[in-house]
Amino acid sequence: MNQNVNLLPDHRFVPSEWPYFHYVDRSLVEREGGFEATLRYAISRSGSLDSATTYSATTYFVERFVFPVAPSNVTNETKSRRLEVVDRLLDHLWLVAGLSYYKTSAATTIRIEGVAVGDRDLELHRLLLMRGLGEFCFVNQLSPELRPEYVVSGATERPPIVGLQLAAGPMCPVGGGKDSCVSIEALRAAALSPTLVTVRRFPIIQHVINDAELPDVAVERHLDSNIGAMNAAGALNGHVPATAIVSFAVMIAAVLNGHDAVVMSNERSASEGNVEYRGVSINHQWAKSDEAEAAIVSALARITPEVRWFSLLRPLSELEIARRFAATCERYFGSFSSCNRTQYIDAARRSTRWCGECPKCQFVYLALSTSLSREQVETIWEAELFSTSPIDGFRALLGLAEWKPFECVGEHLECRVALALVSARADWTDHPVLAALAEEVRSVGGWPTQDDVAACFSLADAPFVPNDYAGVIHAAT
């Protein structure tokens, strides 16, 4: 292949002219204190799919993950089996992390080089691309379901691997928001205190980990720096299924450190879409949905039955999570944040805790106002958001706009239930913004019933929660 294209500021990157995306190779190398994974990708502008062909122009990408590993006294045989599992998990991480580069061109052909991918695993990654890039397609006005042609080497299905000797208990990813705090405290209350894990650690997450006072592991993720230049030159950009990327990275960290479970904090509300686009439901949170969970659980089972990956909060609505946060997570009141602006890669654009304007701030403020006092939420945000935050943001949350905000927020019905509950609280009586929003919801016949309220606080089924964790979320009610 030719050398990397130099994308100068005045060079126009036209996605349609780069139709081939290549998964080139990936490797895992043991370093002092852990392992480093290197994932390589490329896009090319011309040529056939014959591997001997020299393409007219090719741009390469390299992404790295660093996995810290605690010292262990496992046998060489056990270590070998764990690394075999990690190698297969790395295939999945390589494929899903590649969507961060694939999206620059939305190439019509994908070639997977270097490893053989089985049919069922390929179906998972077709799904992750098609559904996980739904918002990306909506924003860029592409087809709502991308269906590139895959060219792969044939592969037979490999049997699951056993004998990993995993005994370190659960590993719980932490994002800095209320949900993972609820999971941590539910596990702690059940005497299943987890090891906390992050993939790319921002200051706000470190504050939460400090307050949790539990062991932790920090996985590093280093995106290729060429992405910024390509975006400036006209490459396509948008949302990718980040939760799936984090999930496979954390599974690798869990196996390397001897943990037998990865406990996610994805709630049932994540399965609701944001907007209907050309007959397809587009869901910003699809990678956190029950459909995604089912697909990833199935893929993991094909690798090993000895590692469990599941969402502990799947039975719960956002409002029930908010209620439990208020009841069990006081230690985090001064540190947690659900505002995505705290995790901008560009530190100059990063907020220190709450921006007070985005849909995420607005939703969490509304949800927690159902269970915390007005004084408490104002102390947490250092503001009274119903008065200071744009009312149109709250209208969108309540289903009074064209689509639900593309953020990890609750269902329209949940937001209307929250509005009804907050409006009835003595400390919010006669608030003009709440009154105006309530009047607008009533005018469209959307005011929630008592049955709606009850449904928001009920527990749904959670088919993927293992038996030994099934009582955790019920015991914490």
Sequential DSSP letters for 196-232:
EEEES--HHHHHHHHHHT--EEEEEEE--THHHHHHH
Cα separation of 100 and 224, whole Å?
10
Q: Do 173 and 265 form a contact (C-beta atoms < 8 A)?
A: yes
CA 369 and chain centroid, separation: 25
pLDDT for residue 47 is more than 80:
no
Residue 462's pLDDT is: 87
- Tell me what the pLDDT averaged over the chain comes to: 92
pLDDT for residue 53 is more than 60? no
Separation of alpha carbons 246 and 249, rounded Å:
5
Check: CB of residue 263 under 8 Å from CB of residue 44.
Answer: no
Section 45-59 average pLDDT: 65
Q: Within a 10 A sphere around the Cβ of 106, how many other Cβ atoms? A: 23
Strand partners, 221: 65
Residues 163-207 pLDDT 10s? 999 988 899 999 999 999 999 999 999 999 899 999 999 999 999
* Cβ 333 vs Cβ 376: under 8 Å: yes
Q: How many CB atoms lie within 10 A of CB 298?
A: 14
* pLDDT at residue 2, rounded to an integer: 36
Sign for the CA dihedral angle at 41, 47, 48, 53 comes to: negative
Q: Sorting pLDDT into bands at 50, 70 and 90, what band is 52?
A: low
Question: How many other C-beta atoms can be found within 10 angstroms of the C-beta atom of residue 143?
Answer: 12
pLDDT of 138 reads: 97
What pLDDT digit, counting tens, does each position of 252-304 carry? 999 999 999 999 999 999 999 999 999 999 999 999 999 999 999 999 999 99
Q: Does residue 154 register a pLDDT over 90?
A: no
Token digits for 16? 């349609």
Task: Report residue 58: phi and psi, to 5°.
Answer: -140, 135
Please tell me the predicted confidence (pLDDT) of residue 327.
Answer: 97
Looking at residue 367, what is its pLDDT? 98
Least confident of 53-62, 120-129, 233-242, 259-268: 53-62
In the chain, pLDDT over 70 holds for what percent of residues? 95
The DSSP letter of residue 330 is G
Average pLDDT over residues 218-233: 91
